[in-house]
Amino acid sequence: MAHVISLLNHKGGVGKTTSAINIGAGLVELGKKVLLLDLDPQANLTVSLGIQRQPVTIYESLRGESELVPFQYKPNFDVVTSSLDLSGAEMELVNEPGREFLLRSLFEPIQEEYDYIIIDCPPSLGLLTLNALTSSNFVYIPLQTEFLALQGVAKIKQVIDKVRFRLNKKLSVGGVIATMFDSRKVLNRDVVATIQKYFGERVFETMIRNNVALAEAPAQRMDIFSYQPKSNGALDYLKLCKEIEQRCDAAAAAEQEKPQAQKLSTIATRQPMGSMPQGTPDLVAPKQAARPQTQPRQTVDLHG
Ligand SMILES: Nc1ncnc2c1ncn2[C@@H]1O[C@H](COP(=O)(O)OP(=O)(O)OP(=O)(O)O)[C@@H](O)[C@H]1O
Ligand SMILES: [Mg+2]
């Protein structure tokens, strides 16, 4: 079953699309099968990879005219493309029954085929983004390490909390990605410190440095690993992907442990007091024990 990750920040130009493309490509480098979904009417992801207008884009699929038709960009690397038509979708779909779950039902038949599905969200918190959130396990928030990086983050948190409460219990903030980082700039370093203070261990250790090759790659219609595999951009995204893999594996393992842990705690509570032989391992709080350190916490306190 694929890990579904949405890259979300309603602030524009923070590195959502760059991260979606290069996290996708990095995971493929690590031997994973990846589907990228361009859910932005600007279609920046589609254009940046040089994919021509497809007969079926996410727009037609959301309208119920077709199932998803992924385009094979490279071996193990598929893309569901977008088009400008999608800009009308929010209005068109507003009266559709189950409008928040259109994407989730489109994913169902293909979710087993991929290790990761990465969704590039538009810079808004409308119906398209809502569909991304109901379909995802994790939200990753890219934050540009500049002044006002955290502006609007409280709003993102509010939306995620509401979606988790009402529509998708599996959803959590799986990571925060510091982008366009320049270690020579005091401001950048200060902003990273602030981000780390707010988000704690959810901030990925790997920071994506400001790197000209990352900005050039879309003009060459390539991901960074095809364009300049030795650039800092490629190194950073590959390192980030290793962290992502670890976090997702840990989350999946914790999920698998859950029924077992619950069973153990039931047995533990059924045992009459004093009936356990000496030296029996402590069966109390198995959930905690089963939870690897890298497992992200369930909620984020944005206020320290
Ligand atoms: N690490 C980086 N180093 C240099 N340039 C970068 C880096 N990351 C992104 N960029 C550039 O910054 C610009 C904005 O990035 P991107 O399009 O990924 O942001 P976005 O959040 O998807 O924007 P939008 O909200 O409009 O969808 C692009 O021109 C991109 O090439
Ligand atoms: Mg974008």
CA-to-CA dists, residue 107 to 41, 172, 209, 219, angstroms: 19, 19, 33, 30
pLDDT at 9: 97
Q: Of the given ranges (2-6, 165-169, 199-203, 274-278), which has the lowest mean pLDDT?
A: 274-278
Beta strands in 22-111 (DSSP E): 34-38, 71-74, 77-80
- Find the CATH number of the domain harbouring 221: 3.40.50.300
**Nearest ligand to residue 232 Cα:** 1
Structure tokens at 48: 């940046």
Q: How many domains does the chain have?
A: 1
pLDDT in tens, 72-125: 999 999 999 999 999 999 999 999 999 999 999 999 999 999 999 999 999 999
In a domain, 118, yes or no: yes
Q: Do you know the residue count of the chain?
A: 304
In a domain, 298, yes or no: no
- Rounded to the nearest angstrom, the distance between the alpha carbon of 43 and the centre of ligand 2 is 8
* Percentage, residues of the chain above pLDDT 90: 81
For residues 241 and 262, the answer to whether their CB atoms sit within 8 Å is no
List pocket residues of ligand 1, CB cut-off 6 Å.
12-18, 40, 42, 44, 123, 179-180, 208, 210-211, 214-215, 218
Q: Which two tokens stand for residue 96?
A: 């559709």
Residue 116's beta-bridge partner residues?
3, 34
Nearest CA to ligand 1 atom 7: 180
302 part of a folded domain: no
Distance from the CA of 81 to the center of ligand 2, in angstroms? Answer: 13
The answer to whether residue 227 scores a pLDDT higher than 80 is yes
Residue-averaged pLDDT of the chain: 88
CA 287 / ligand 2 centre spacing (Å): 38
pLDDT digits (tens, 9 = 90+) for 156-205: 999 999 999 999 999 999 999 999 999 999 999 999 999 999 999 999 99
Residue 233 lies in a domain: yes
Residue 156 tokens read as: 């993102």
Is position 296 within any domain? no
In a domain, 206, yes or no: yes
Residue 282 has pLDDT above 80, yes or no: no
pLDDT at 284 over 80: no
| Alpha carbon of 19 to ligand 1 centroid (Å) | 8
Sign of CA dihedral 120, 155, 193, 12: positive
- Asked whether the beta carbons of 6 and 103 are under 8 A apart, the reply is no
Cα distance between residue 270 and residue 229, in whole Å: 57
Confidence at residue 186, expressed as pLDDT on a 0 to 100 scale: 95
Q: Which domain holds residue 86?
A: 3-290
Ligand nearest to the CA of 15: 1
pTM of the shown model = 0.87
